[in-house]
Amino acid sequence: MKRASEIGKKIFFGHVGICIILLCVIPVLFIGYSLFRGFDIKIEQMPAETEEDLIVVGFSQLGSESGWRTAHTASIQQALTKDAGYFLIFNNARQMQDNQIKAIRSFISQRVEYIVFAPVIEDGWDTVLQEAKSAGIPVIVTDRMVNVQDESLYTAWIGTDAKEEGKKAGRWLEDYLEQEGRQSEKINIVVLKGTVGSTAEIGRTKGFGEIAAQHGNWHILESVSAEFTANKAKEVMRSILQRYPEMDVLISQNDDMTMGAIEAMQEAGIRFGEGGDVTVISFDATRDALELVKEGRINVNVECNPVQGVYVDEIIQRLEKGEPVEKYYVVEEKVFTRENAAVFLEGRKY
């Protein structure tokens, strides 16, 4: 009997022990897997009860790849607060269009009153925006454009003129080379592009390209994507410097890429900026980059204004009153050089 009792205890406690271990280990494995898969990509859910007088807005941001993007997100969050009469549901898509489509469908299922989103790329939105339209939910597109067959699928677009930004960079280079007496000299140019297919990449590439095409002595040695990130730009720039030591001009389509590129040039002992061997043209005009413009390390910076939340608020308020809205809203932008950067730095919030 004693032997049987001992065996029974072993079986019982053995199974219990295994169960306890499994109960401890499985949740850990699940959490680890979730973190590995990016479990933080969650869509905030609307509470069961919200204050009836609040306007419910779903906002899908394409990611947080740059200082500019952070400022853009903050602009909308600061405009659509509870004090201003809004309940904002926020989603970070982490640079994935599938995540944004999932977020928009979640907003539709939650019956939000307005959808706001900054698209990762321009194509591929027709189906989900048709779903929003069928649900009677106005869609406001911000920052980047969408390429859809039926423009009635979105109510309004707010953003910057990326093509004009590219042209501004080209016109500045024209004037600069003329002032330097180099208008007839062979000019070797490298272009660091942003996310391929995004509005900023498409517009800035086309705009600068149109100006460059007017100058037979301007030679674009290479045009390559660095995905709007500093780390990728540094990696790409290291390779470019080995292939093109004769580079005269760097066109970098956002400040984060510019930061990475100039780090690579510093490490290689390349002189850049005012008085340097490489003229640096950047875009966005974030505060950190404008500090470098003031110091002469970046020659010129073409602004891409992220403060678009006030426009979103204005559009929603007009729609709430049954008033008409414009289809396109283009925000004001400037060009910064060493001569004017310091003045604007004083009040710069981003």
Distances (CA, A) of 349 to 297, 300, 341: 21, 19, 14
Residue with tokens 């500090």: 291
pLDDT in tens, the chain (350 residues): 334 344 344 433 444 444 344 444 444 343 343 333 333 445 555 555 556 789 999 999 999 988 899 999 999 999 999 999 999 999 999 999 999 999 999 999 999 999 999 999 999 999 999 999 999 999 999 999 999 999 999 999 999 999 999 999 999 999 999 999 999 999 999 999 999 999 999 999 999 999 999 999 999 999 999 999 999 999 999 999 999 999 999 999 999 999 999 999 999 999 999 999 999 999 999 999 999 999 999 999 999 999 999 999 999 999 999 999 999 999 999 999 999 999 999 878 78
> How far apart are alpha carbons 100 and 340 in whole angstroms?
38
Instruction: Evaluate whether 313 touches 140 at the Cβ level (below 8 Å).
Output: no
Reduced 3-state DSSP string for 59-103: EEECCCCCHHHHHHHHHHHHHCCCCCCEEEEEEECCCCHHHHHHH
Alpha-carbon distances, residue 279 vs 147, 266, 346 (angstroms): 34, 14, 25
Q: What is the pLDDT of residue 51?
A: 61
* Burial class of residue 207, CB neighbours in 10 A (0-12, 13-18, 19+): buried
Residue 347: per-residue pLDDT: 75
At 44 the pLDDT is 56
* CA–CA dist 46, 110 (Å, integer): 7
pLDDT given at position 93: 96
CA–CA distance, 95 with 77 (Å, rounded to integer): 19
- CA separation for the pair 78, 14 (Å, rounded): 57
pLDDT for the residue numbered 18:
43
